[in-house]
Structure 1
């Protein structure tokens, strides 16, 4: 019997995860495969990727999931994407990139931002006219050096030979859609993330006034579509490359900030989810445009028409744990001296080195003996914007061991989430319980710690590391008519496990959290001295 299946490509910062789902009638994960690729961190603050790496990774993972599952290409009824956002992929008229893609992490355009919005009469340090016009039209403002508009202006200023070849401005998945269909489109959430989108209308479009105000060529901006819209079918070239059927429907999909919430089942007004992958964020579904300029939290356009995500971003979340694994734990303290035996033997107890690391610190005391870590290893966006901010280990003593430092890093990541959560509550009420998703959410230890630090009940869905792909697959099912509404998605995604806060830990976490919030203000000028 033929299956009705969906391919969802989760295009992350460090790799592509391709998930194959069966619709019967809910979404069942049949197979998944991952392919990593590099990101180039440049001395001038640049962060770039080769778009060809994404496309090649799609090819190899598609082959893997079809081979492992035995599913035939005729059974794939649609494909779509969940991808990293606020990248800049500038292409020519044949959809060939004119230069490497600039990642959302890229922070080299400080001069362009200064010229573009940090001059004249200011409100919260931002040009008053551009701030007020942006807030009125789009509901947010390009107030971060990492926002794509400043990357665009950087290329225009510094690489005029490349800029003159530009035909289209794409985000990451839009480039891949173009490779797949030969069509230039951008989903509504990606369009909003450029801060050139008029969100005052039900289904908005590009704002000519904002394009003029920021010096962006309107002709570079593609047609805007909805997440569940069918863009077209796979071209013969793309189908042959991916090993799929010519004409297989390709749907718009969405960015990770939109579809991870959908895949978490947080789709109704008031639903909150916390994501912890390479980066992290807090998102709450709302029907109103709201912005907190001081805290850098705003309502961003989501996948569902008429709804927003009140969204505060954490620049480095799980990336801090990777740093700990590579530079603090790995071999230097003999924690992984027998790492081959830990994960590679047939009777291995631990699925990953991360799991072994978390288990090794389970008996360290909450509060980390008063040691506090700030998780700003690549700057920060919310609740303060500062690309020069960095990590700190604060209050180390002669008795501080490395296991305490590792726990302090986890607590620091979660303190920052609590900070964003409490500030979000000031304008949009967050839910209790909260869905916790992303690769970090696989750890039961961290789930309990998140509940204890926030004082909120934490729920985890099945396959929390795959929620972006689940969201993309749900969008395809919606586009195909297999799912009738966004509300139906919530019923399809069950809670796997729940954690409730331990009230006895509140005093120590409250004390550390109070100090944590003050460390940036105390050290802001020092970051400038050391990182300029």
Structure 2
């Protein structure tokens, strides 16, 4: 194969991180390109797919400056991307409207009506729930975040677009098609449409489940594992990206699987935490797991269809950015000098965009408790950091009951917010667990690159390559006993306040 380098592109909500990675999983060069997110009243959160491609071309232009012989040395291009989006594309793969991203919650009421009925449990009609649980190991979210609700919204509000739609796809699917002309989808995206049979050995689209949504299987792309070579670049894509047309493009994966690989935690039962715009607790397991009351489950990952537990929370870095903004700063170091925690600091529930785990309710909203006249901007920012950490502690209290979970040793922390020492230390204190920060800001990009390991001859599998990243520690945080006890006491108090808040939205 021509070339010794892999180009890895990790498409997030606000931008794409692109890295040039070598056989030792070192990032030779990297670039970031931002793109807009259209937020509007009513839960709208959309992006234009062409903006993703534009971000990729800009980043590669930067990388070709850093690595002048990149065109000759790049052998593989692989993507990871945000999931739970919906793109309606025509037969040429052209998006017929903006992508409804994972953050788009306008279809929450439609989702609740669709899953509801009599008799019901936890808001789900029993017969429907039993069907979803049997085949898909889960059920559509109540908050409208997954593709199920978005398809319902399109069927009701934009039927003319649905009539013209040839493909119902996710973000990465569109990108792979834009690069190769071949339409595929990842197991994670497919699973979270709740139209996929995820039973071991039977993974594939289910006519039975698709019929519940009145969706034809012909509109659903072939489910393809992450390290599969899809095709080489089309001449047009190669010209736009400044790469050789012989570059191979892999099927790629979701941001959650990329993060799991990038964390190095690839053994069954080993958890990691991602802290970025949103947050999740995740880890591979040998079999499917499900917790309906706490709204989390395993999904079928693109890594050999291995079950990957994902307990996601809607608000993390977004809540901290909001707290900084409303207290008068957009400085990226706003959390670095906010003073020591005080016993009478306010409490904060960071549900600014609803919540998913361990309660699935898009109507929940954030709030401060116990505000006093003497509280200043620093107190609010401290409360925000603590609130995000204690929200994760709340989710972890449910996940930690899973059988086969590894409870010893440090938990690996990845994601943009993991690089902030204040946030990482607060999380260590809240969980009373050592925190190991890995390749914080580049875990997704490096995890994505491991998918090319077997194609490039770097390792026998992506998992073997990813395990090497476990040894890369950029920082280590040990719980402070005094803060552990103080946060436990505050967690008890916040738990009571949380119950009152939850009742007001029930």
TM-score range, shorter chain: over 0.9
2:121 to 120, 123, 129: 123
RMSD over aligned Cα atoms: 1.7
Separation in structure 1 between the aligned mates of residue 193 and residue 459 of structure 2, nearest angstrom: 30
SS in 2 for 1:373: strand
Shift of 1:457: 0.8
Q: Is 1:370–1:512's contact at 8 Å kept on the other side of the alignment? A: no
SS in 1 for 2:243: coil
After superposing the two structures, state which structure 1 stretch, 43-52 or 429-438, moved more.
429-438
Counterparts of 1:142-221 in structure 2 under 5 Å? 142-144=140-142, 145-202=144-201, 204-221=203-220
From the superposition, tell whether residues 3 and 225 of structure 1 become closer, same or farther in structure 2 (CA, over 3 Å): closer
1:105 to 103, 106, 114: 103
Separation in structure 2 between the aligned mates of residue 329 and residue 276 of structure 1, nearest angstrom: 23
Q: Is 1:324–1:406's contact at 8 Å kept on the other side of the alignment? A: yes
After superposing the two structures, state which structure 1 stretch, 99-108 or 420-429, moved more.
420-429
Structure 1 residues 217-273: Cα deviation after superposition (integer angstroms, max 9, x where no partner): 211101111110001010001111111111310001111111101101011112110
Counterparts of 1:61-140 in structure 2 under 5 Å? 61-140=59-138
2:364 is the alignment partner of 1:365: no
2:457 to 472, 478, 481: 481
2:350 to 336, 361, 375: 375
After superposing the two structures, state which structure 1 stretch, 427-436 or 494-503, moved more.
427-436
Q: Is 1:275–1:281's contact at 8 Å kept on the other side of the alignment? A: yes
Separation in structure 1 between the aligned mates of residue 59 and residue 358 of structure 2, nearest angstrom: 37
After superposing the two structures, state which structure 1 stretch, 425-434 or 10-19, moved more.
425-434
Separation in structure 2 between the aligned mates of residue 354 and residue 186 of structure 1, nearest angstrom: 35
Q: Is 1:126–1:143's contact at 8 Å kept on the other side of the alignment? A: no
Shift of 1:512: 1.3
Counterparts of 1:42-441 in structure 2 under 5 Å? 42-144=40-142, 145-202=144-201, 204-330=203-329, 353-355=331-333, 357-361=334-338, 363-365=339-341, 369-428=344-403, 429-431=405-407, 432-441=409-418
After superposing the two structures, state which structure 1 stretch, 55-64 or 502-511, moved more.
502-511
Shift of 1:324: 2.0
From the superposition, tell whether residues 366 and 101 of structure 1 become closer, same or farther in structure 2 (CA, over 3 Å): same
Q: Is 2:416–2:440's contact at 8 Å kept on the other side of the alignment? A: yes
Shift of 1:214: 2.5
Counterparts of 1:452-491 in structure 2 under 5 Å? 452-461=429-438, 463-485=439-461, 486-491=463-468
SS in 1 for 2:22: strand
After superposing the two structures, state which structure 1 stretch, 297-306 or 202-211, moved more.
297-306
Structure 1 residues 200-225: Cα deviation after superposition (integer angstroms, max 9, x where no partner): 13361001110112222211101111
Separation in structure 2 between the aligned mates of residue 309 and residue 514 of structure 1, nearest angstrom: 30
Q: Is 1:93–1:168's contact at 8 Å kept on the other side of the alignment? A: yes
SS in 2 for 1:225: coil
Shift of 1:443: 1.3
- Provide the residue aligned with 1:516 in structure 2: 494
Q: Is 2:459–2:465's contact at 8 Å kept on the other side of the alignment? A: yes
Separation in structure 2 between the aligned mates of residue 62 and residue 207 of structure 1, nearest angstrom: 39
Structure 1 residues 125-166: Cα deviation after superposition (integer angstroms, max 9, x where no partner): 101111111111111111332111110111111111111110
Shift of 1:525: 5.5
Shift of 1:306: 4.8
Separation in structure 2 between the aligned mates of residue 266 and residue 450 of structure 1, nearest angstrom: 18
Structure 1 residues 360-406: Cα deviation after superposition (integer angstroms, max 9, x where no partner): 11x32265x24111111111111111112111111112322221111
- Provide the residue aligned with 2:425 in structure 1: 448
Count of residues in Structure 1 that have an aligned counterpart in Structure 2? 500
Shift of 1:77: 0.8
Structure 1 residues 449-502: Cα deviation after superposition (integer angstroms, max 9, x where no partner): 1111110111011x3111111111000223333221313421244222221111
Shift of 1:284: 2.2
Q: Is 1:421–1:430's contact at 8 Å kept on the other side of the alignment? A: no
Shift of 1:527: 4.9
- Normalization by structure 2: what TM-score? 0.95
- Normalization by structure 1: what TM-score? 0.91
Contiguous gaps of at least 5 residues in structure 2:
none
Q: Is 2:227–2:252's contact at 8 Å kept on the other side of the alignment? A: yes
Q: Is 1:251–1:479's contact at 8 Å kept on the other side of the alignment? A: no
Separation in structure 2 between the aligned mates of residue 158 and residue 359 of structure 1, nearest angstrom: 46
After superposing the two structures, state which structure 1 stretch, 501-510 or 76-85, moved more.
501-510
